[in-house]
Amino acid sequence: MDSKLGAYNIHDLRDMARRNLPRGVFEFVDRGTEDDNAVANNRAALERIRFRPRTLVDVSKRDLSITLFGKKQPMPFCVGPTGTAGLLWYGGELGVARAAAKAGIPFTVAVNSMTSMETIAEQAGGTLWFQLYLWSDRNYSYQIVERAKKVGFEALILTVDGAVPSNREYNHRNGFEVPIQFNTRNVTDVLSRPRWLASVFLRQLVTSGMPRFENYPPEVMDGLMSRTWKKTILKNDGMNWDDLRKLRELWPRTLMVKGVLSPQDAVKAAECGADAVIVSNHGGRNLDYSVAPIDALPGVVEAAGKRLTVIMDSGLRRGSDVVKALALGARAAFIGRAPLYGVAAHGEAGAARAIEIFREEISRVMALLGVNSVAELDRRCLQLPEMK
Ligand SMILES: Cc1cc2nc3c(=O)[nH]c(=O)nc-3n(C[C@H](O)[C@H](O)[C@H](O)COP(=O)(O)O)c2cc1C
């Protein structure tokens, strides 16, 4: 296999992931919620933006690096929290984390990760951030915060766009829900991907048992198969701004709020002491028909961009998408599904390929735009559709 792994873009990695994974697993990664409108609209909104290139600029020394929270990184994007890579490839989460570390970009460990935060920190290294959901029993969440502090995570990300679980009907249909219960549909599905069954699922089962949420405290942690699954603990519909203030007291390092789409919320996050907001609709996975983050971004930057760092994600599949976000004022972008497609296609090498594709594409787009540094990217590089 060549160094490109037969993948010229993220779409190729997605196709490979689809071929490797049982349908239930692939759809869990790939799809959104309800009518999948937000997923499609995230793309449509990015695709409506055009570039206005400048020519005869010497771009031979262009530089993709940025400084984020005082630390230089060679590329203007980070790996966002997803926590399912372990279901896509054996040791998949470590694979993605290592690929990010080798590329010099931050990797976010999700609280719902199937590899523990300690293992990832020990075995992958690099710049590591931790993502948290606040549970109804805050003390369990605070225990996790303490652990993340001890492990040395450089940033904590509180995800705020999931007050209640989203309505992912395909997961019900595919029998892909926690706790997993076997039925004809999901058994047939899994048997249709014998390589995945043997090299991912059974291997995981034999080496460390049923996949579990390894960051959960023992009282909460339970096998995905368990019928005693304590779902009520995972509820977070009582979360509010006081929780963010409290977290600010507990967490001494960089604190980010993920899932903000309104300028007012970004200002409030700044008032509560957050260092950054991530303008995101969770990749279209939570509230269907929510506005595309790329459309919400300019308003957030205008309202709060001087008070905190603004990052954006959702729908980024090309380097050109990242460049558009940066030109609209994001200081960096997160990629979510792209490295998951990569790891499902070829393990760590596939995740590394996804990162490399973004690097190559961003560099090429900057050159063709006549831009030498990320700081030079601004609205003059873009032709925007009529904003509502
Ligand atoms: C399979 C999967 C699992 C995810 N799990 C989490 C999570 O546990 N916490 C979180 O804040 N975001 C989670 N996300 C959302 C991502 O962090 C990110 O916002 C989103 O994937 C960005 O959109 P993109 O996938 O189009 O790049 C998940 C996304 C996917 C695809």
pTM: 0.96
Pair of tokens at residue 200: 């991912």
Give the atom of ligand 1 at the shortest distance from the alpha carbon of 29: 1
How remote is the CA of residue 57 from the centroid of ligand 1, in Å? Answer: 38
Ligand 1 and 92: CB distance under 6 A: no
Report the run of H or E that residue 78 belongs to, with start and end: strand 77-79
> What positions carry a catalytic annotation?
282
Ligand 1 and 29: CB distance under 6 A: yes
**Residue 224: what pLDDT?**
47
The DSSP-derived string for 204-218 is: HHHHH-S---TTS-T
Pair of tokens at residue 130: 């931790």
> Which portions of the chain are predicted below pLDDT 50?
223-224, 388
Per-residue pLDDT tens for 238-259? 999 999 999 999 999 999 999 9
Q: What is the DSSP letter of 202?
A: I
Task: Identify the residue whose C-alpha is closest to ligand 1 atom 1.
Answer: 29
Ligand 1 and 116: CB distance under 6 A: no
Distance CA 302, CA 42 (A): 21
**Residue 218: what pLDDT?**
83
Give the atom of ligand 1 at the shortest distance from the alpha carbon of 157: 11
Residue 283 CA, chain-centre distance (Å), reads 8
Angle 184-191/23-30 helices, nearest 10 degrees? Answer: 90
How remote is the CA of residue 29 from the centroid of ligand 1, in Å? Answer: 9
Ligand 1 and 80: CB distance under 6 A: yes
Distance CA 285, CA 274 (A): 24
Give the atom of ligand 1 at the shortest distance from the alpha carbon of 314: 23
For the chain, the helix, strand and coil percentages under 3-state DSSP, each to the nearest 5: 45, 10, 40
Alpha helices in the chain (DSSP H): 10-20, 23-30, 37-47, 85-88, 92-103, 117-123, 138-151, 169-174, 184-191, 194-196, 203-208, 241-250, 263-271, 293-304, 319-327, 337-369
Pair of tokens at residue 123: 């075995």
Cβ-proximal residues to 140 (8 Å cutoff; 6+ apart), any chain:
216, 217, 219, 220, 233
**Residue 229: what pLDDT?**
57
